[in-house]
Amino acid sequence: MIKAKACRGGPLRPPCRGAHGGAPLRISIPTDPIKGSNRLNTKEYRRFVGIAKGSIGEISYQIFLARDLGYVSEEAYTGLANKYKIVIKMLSNLAKSLGKRTK
């Protein structure tokens, strides 16, 4: 499995967690919007969606780096890159719809 290989030892060990050193990014991306949706207002919800977008940005770089360092093949990189682009688009659309609610 790609993430297991890229996250165990070697030069990719530190980036497998978020910049804050907390939960692994693959966990924090779906949980940040959930945390935000349980807040008291839409503005905070939108903030947590932004945090999730930041996390997916970190992952996109890590996938790029893993490919360049030979941890994943070009084919695997392309598949993962396409998936993270879909998630970024979904989060962007959610943030946009939440922004309309706060105006």
Residue spans of the domains in the chain: they are 30-102
Which pTM does this prediction carry? 0.60
> Per-residue pLDDT tens for 45-61?
888 888 888 888 888 88
User: What six digits make up the tokens of 63?
Assistant: 């996938």
Q: Give pLDDT, residue 36.
A: 62
Strand partners for 24? 17
Q: How far, in Å, CA of 56 to CA of 62, rounded? A: 10
pLDDT in tens, 67-87: 999 999 999 999 999 998 999
Mean pLDDT of 19-31: 55
* Tokens read off for 18: 């978020």
Q: How many other C-beta atoms lie within 10 A of the C-beta of residue 20?
A: 9
pLDDT band with cut points at 50, 70 and 90 for residue 39: low
- What pLDDT does 11 receive? 47
User: pLDDT band at 89, cuts 50/70/90?
Assistant: very high
DSSP-based three-state secondary structure for 6:
helix
